[in-house]
Amino acid sequence: MEGRWKGISTVLVILAGLAASGSSYQIIEGPKNATVLEGSEARFNCTVSQGWKLIMWALNGTVVLSITPSEPIITNDRFTSASYQEGGNSISEMIIHDVQLRDAGHIKCSLQNSDRDASAFLSVQVMGALLIPGGNLVVAEDEPCNVTCHAWGWIPPPGISWDIGLPVSHSSYHSVLEPNNPQSAVSVLTLTPQGNGTLTCVATMKGLHAHKSVTVNLTVVQPPLGSIDKAGTSLPTWAIILLAVSFSLLLILIIVLIIIICCCCVSGREIKESSYQSEIRKSASVKTNKETFETNLESGSENLGYHSDEPRTAKLASFAPVSSESSVQEQHSSRQPYQVRAQALSAGCPFGEPGRKMYRGVHFP
C-alpha cells in the first residue's frame, strides 16, 4: 500500500515539473482497436515524437500506467509497458495481462501538456463450455439419427460446425441460439451412419482465430430383428418390381369389381321396376274385371253358370198321376220364395237388396 502511494506521489511530482517546463510534444500514431479472449493478453502501441517527458495510459477514463523516459510508473501489476525506438520516434506499448471481461472499453494514450490524445477500443470475448450430451454414441446402421452439441457461456455466441470422421449416406446440421439464453447456442447434426468413427463439434469465436472442440466416438450396430429397414437396402430390385405389379393388378381387380357391382345394382333396379309395373297392370286388369262383373250383376244379365233343376222335376212329374200334379205345383209354389232367398245368398246377393233382382238367371221387373 505504501509503494502504491509512493508511485502516485512520484507521478504528481513529475506532472508538476512538466507543467512548469511547458513541454509540447505530439502523438504521431495512436493505438489500434483490439479483440482478445478473456484471460489472454492485450497490447496497445502509441508512437510519440522525440523529447517527450511523460506518457499516460488510461482505461475507461482511469490512468492505469504512466511512463517516463527513465522508467515506468506501475500502479497495477496487470498493466505493464515496453519501449522501442523507430526512426527517431519512441513507441510506448501497454500490455494488459489476464484480460477480464470488465476491461472491455476505451483505451487512451496521452502526453502531458499536449492538446492531442489517441484512443482505441478493447473488445473482450469469453469462450464458454462445449458439450455433446451423452458422450460416446451407439446407433443402428443405416438408420437416421440426431447428435446435439451445446455451447453455453460464450460472449458472443460462437459459430458451430461439425467434423464427421465416419462413412455416412447423408448428413446435415443447423445451429440456433437458445431462446432463454442469448449467450448459448445449440447445433443439431442429422446423419445416416454406415460405419464406426468419430464426430467432432467445433465452436469458433467470431473475429478471432480461436476455437474449442469436443469429440465423441460413434459405433454402429445391426438393426434389431423385426425392424423395418429401408426399401433400397432390404429388398432386391426384382422383389420391388413384383410388389409394384401385384399392387397394380389388385387395384385393377378392385375397379372391375366395383363396375360389376354397379351394373348389378342397376339391373336389379330395372327388374324391380318392371315387376312393379306388371303388378300395377295386373291390379288394374283385376279392378276392371271386377267393375265389369258388378255392372253385369246390376243390369241383370244371365248367369251362365247356373244349372236349372226344372228338367229333373219335370221328368219326375211325368210319372206322377194327373191328380197329384196340382199338389206338386202347389208345394213347389209354396217353397219358391225360400229357394230364391237361399240361391241369392249363395250367389253373394242378399235377397231383397236393391239392384239384385235376379233369380235363376231371369230378369225380374
Q: What tens-digit pLDDT sequence spans the chain (365 residues)? A: 444 444 555 544 444 444 444 445 789 999 999 999 999 999 999 999 988 889 999 999 999 999 998 888 888 999 999 998 888 899 999 999 999 999 999 999 999 877 778 999 999 999 999 999 988 999 999 999 999 999 999 999 999 999 999 999 999 999 999 888 888 899 999 999 999 999 999 999 888 888 999 999 999 998 876 555 444 455 677 788 888 899 899 999 999 999 999 888 877 777 766 676 777 777 777 666 666 655 655 555 444 444 444 444 434 334 443 333 434 344 444 444 444 444 444 444 444 444 444 444 444 44
Helix axes 322-346, 310-318, angle to 10 degrees: 170
pLDDT of residue 64: 94
Residue type, 354: P
Q: How far is CA 255 from the centre of its chain?
A: 33
Whole-number pLDDT of residue 298: 54
DSSP structure class, residue 101: G
Report residue 346 as a C-alpha cell.
Answer: 249363395
Write the CA distances from 230 to 144, 188, 235, 247, 274, integer angstroms.
11, 23, 8, 19, 59
pLDDT score for 87: 83
**Neighbouring C-beta atoms of residue 215, cutoff 10 Å:** 13
Cell of 16: 508538476
**Residue whose cell numbers read 279392378:** 287
pLDDT at residue 46 in the model: 95
pLDDT, residue 323, reads 39
Report pLDDT for 290: 63
Distance separating alpha carbons of residues 111 and 118, to the nearest angstrom: 10
pLDDT number for residue 296 = 56
**Rounded to whole angstroms, how far apart are CA atoms 343 and 92?**
156
**C-alpha–C-alpha distance, residues 206 and 35, integer Å:** 10
Contact in structure between 53 and 18 (CB atoms under 8 Å)? yes
60: alpha, beta or left? (left if phi > 0; alpha if psi -120 to 50): left
Q: What sign results for the dihedral spanned by CA atoms 266, 267, 272, 273?
A: positive
| Angle in degrees, CA 128, 132, 133, rounded to 5 | 115
Q: Give the C-alpha separation, 70 to 25, whole Å.
A: 17
- What is the pTM assigned to this prediction? 0.52
Question: What was the pLDDT predicted at 318?
Answer: 42
What b/e string do you get for 252-287 counting C-beta neighbours within 10 Å, with b at 16 or more?
A: eeeeeeeeeeeeeeeeeeeeeeeeeeeeeeeeeeee
pLDDT at residue 320, as a whole number: 40
If we measure between CA atoms, which residue out of 268, 262, 128, 127 comes closest to residue 208? 127
Distance CA 94, CA 8 (A): 18
Helix, strand, coil percentages, rounded to 5, for the chain: 35, 35, 30
CA distances from 98 to 36, 42, 168, 253 (A): 10, 8, 43, 82
